[in-house]
C-alpha cells in the first residue's frame, strides 16, 4: 500500500480532525487515538482533534475533543474504519477542506478526496501499523502501539477471524516490539465485568439453535437495560456464540420501539466462513463478509432475515 499521499497530506496540514464510526469499537477508537498520538509526537505545532460523541467502554480511552465548526472547516479530515458517510460519528466531517478515508471494510460506498482502502486487512489498526512502520524516521512509541494493538486484537478476535492473515500477525509483532505488555492488554480489552458475565449467562440460556448450525438470540430492551447495557453493548456479546463448534452462523438481535411504539430489531450477524453481508445489505445493513449488521428491521423482515441466514448454512 502506498502511504506517501497520506504522509504528505499530514505534513502539509496545520489542523487535522480525525473521525471514526458511530457505536465505536476498539478498532475505531484505537486507530483514532493512535493516529492523533503519532502526529502529535512527530509534528510539533499541529492541531490534532479526535472527533466523535459516542464512546466505548471496552478498555479505557482518552476523552474526545470538543471541536467547533470553524476548526473543522479549516482542517483536513481523516475518517478511519468507516465504510459509508452515514456511519461517521459527526456528519460535520464533510465540511473539512479535504476528506481522507482510511479503512478495511469493503469499499461499496467510496467517499472522500483520497481513499486508502485495504479490505484484506483485519483491522484499520493493522493498516496504520504498516503506515507508521514504513516511515522509520518518525517516532513509533509504545503509547501509539498500545492503542493499535487493542484494535488489532479486538477486530481479529484474538487472531481468530477469517480475515486474520500473516500481515495481521506481522503487525502484531511490530507493535509488540515496542515492549507492550501483551497479556495485560488482552485482559484490558476482553475481560468481562460481573454484570457482563451474568448477561453472558442470559444469552447462552436464551439462544435458539436451528438446524444445529444457526444460533440466534433476541434480547428485548427491558432485559439489556436491566443489565445496565445499551443496545449496541448488548449486541457486542455476539462473540460469545463464536466458540461453539456446531455454530457456523450466529446473531444477536436487540429490540427497540419506534416513535409509534412499534417494535424494531437491530442485529449483529456473524459467520465462520459463509458470506453474510449480502444478506445484511438486502435489509439496508452491511459490513464485512463474515461480520455484518442490520438496523430497524420490522417483525416481518426479522422473519425474512432469519430464514435467509438459516438457508446460508
Nearest distance in Å: CB 238, Mn ion: 15
Burial class (CB in 10 A: 0-12, 13-18, 19+), 276: buried
Q: How far is CA 31 from CA 110, 135, 204, in A?
A: 19, 17, 32
Contact with Mn ion (CB under 5 A): which of 27, 89, 126, 146?
A: 27
Site string for Mn ion, 225-254 (x = CB under 5 A): ------------------------------
- Reported as half-sphere exposure (CB side, CA atoms, 13 A), residue 203 has a value of 25
Contact with Mn ion (CB under 5 A): which of 10, 72, 81, 126?
A: 81
CB closer to Mn ion, 37 vs 124: 124
CB closer to Mn ion, 124 vs 271: 124
Residue 215 cell numbers, joined = 444460533
CB closer to Mn ion, 157 vs 213: 157
Contact 156, 122 (CB under 8 A): yes
CB closer to Mn ion, 153 vs 309: 153
Q: Which of residues 137-156 bind Mn ion (CB under 5 A)?
A: 155
Segment contacting Mn ion by CB under 5 A, of 19-27, 169-177, 182-190, 191-199: 19-27
CB closer to Mn ion, 81 vs 233: 81
SS3 312: coil
Q: Which of residues 30-49 bind Mn ion (CB under 5 A)?
A: none
Contact 267, 309 (CB under 8 A): no
Instruction: Tell me the number of residues near Mn ion by CB under 5 A.
Output: 4
Q: Does 103 bind Mn ion (CB under 5 A)?
A: no
Which residues fall within 8 angstroms of residue 194, CB to CB, at 6 or more apart? none
SS3 183: helix
- Reported as half-sphere exposure (CB side, CA atoms, 13 A), residue 43 has a value of 18
Residue 292 cell numbers, joined = 455484518
Q: β-strand 114-117 against 208-210: which pairing, if any?
A: unpaired
Cβ-closest position to Mn ion: 27
The DSSP 8-state label assigned to residue 87 in this structure reads G
Nearest distance in Å: CB 206, Mn ion: 28
Nearest distance in Å: CB 81, Mn ion: 4
CB closer to Mn ion, 108 vs 206: 108
CB closer to Mn ion, 90 vs 103: 103
**Residues making contact with Mn ion (CB under 5 A):** 27, 81, 124, 155
Amino acid at each position: 500500500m502506498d502511504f506517501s499521499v497520506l504522509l504528505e497530506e499530514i505534513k502539509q496540514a496545520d489542523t487535522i480532525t480525525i473521525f471514526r464510526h458511530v457505536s465505536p469499537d476498539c478498532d475505531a477508537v484505537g486507530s483514532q487515538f493512535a493516529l492523533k498520538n503519532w502526529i502529535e509526537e512527530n509534528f510539533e505545532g499541529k492541531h490534532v482533534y479526535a472527533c466523535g460523541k459516542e464512546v466505548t467502554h471496552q478498555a479505557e480511552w482518552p476523552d474526545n475533543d470538543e471541536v467547533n465548526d470553524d476548526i473543522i472547516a479549516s482542517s483536513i479530515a481523516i475518517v478511519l474504519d468507516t465504510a459509508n458517510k452515514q456511519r461517521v460519528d459527526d456528519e460535520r466531517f464533510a465540511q473539512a477542506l479535504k476528506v481522507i478515508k482510511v479503512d478495511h471494510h469493503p469499499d461499496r460506498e467510496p467517499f472522500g478526496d483520497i481513499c486508502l482502502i485495504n479490505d484484506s486487512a483485519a483491522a484499520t489498526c493493522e493498516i496504520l501499523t504498516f503506515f507508521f512502520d514504513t516511515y522509520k524516521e518518525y517516532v513509533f512509541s509504545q503509547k501509539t502501539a498500545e492503542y493499535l494493538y487493542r484494535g488489532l486484537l479486538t477486530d481479529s478476535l484474538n487472531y481468530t477471524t477469517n480475515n486474520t492473515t500473516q500481515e495481521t500477525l506481522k503487525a502484531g509483532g511490530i507493535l509488540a516490539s515496542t515492549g507492550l505488555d501483551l497479556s495485560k492488554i488482552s485482559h484490558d480489552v476482553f475481560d468481562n465485568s460481573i454484570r457482563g458475565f451474568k448477561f453472558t449467562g442470559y444469552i447462552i440460556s436464551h439462544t435458539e439453535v436451528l438446524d444445529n448450525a444457526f444460533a440466534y438470540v433476541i434480547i428485548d430492551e427491558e432485559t439489556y437495560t436491566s443489565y445496565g447495557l445499551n443496545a449496541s453493548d448488548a449486541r457486542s456479546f455476539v462473540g460469545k456464540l463464536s466458540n461453539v463448534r456446531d455454530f457456523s452462523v450466529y446473531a444477536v438481535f436487540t429490540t427497540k420501539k419506534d416513535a409509534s411504539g412499534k417494535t424494531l430489531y437491530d442485529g449483529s450477524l456473524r459467520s465462520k466462513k459463509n458470506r453474510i453481508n449480502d444478506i445484511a445489505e438486502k435489509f439496508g445493513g452491511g459490513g464485512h463478509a463474515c461480520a455484518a449488521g442490520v438496523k430497524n428491521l420490522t417483525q416481518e423482515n426479522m422473519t425474512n432475515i432469519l430464514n435467509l441466514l438459516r438457508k446460508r448454512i
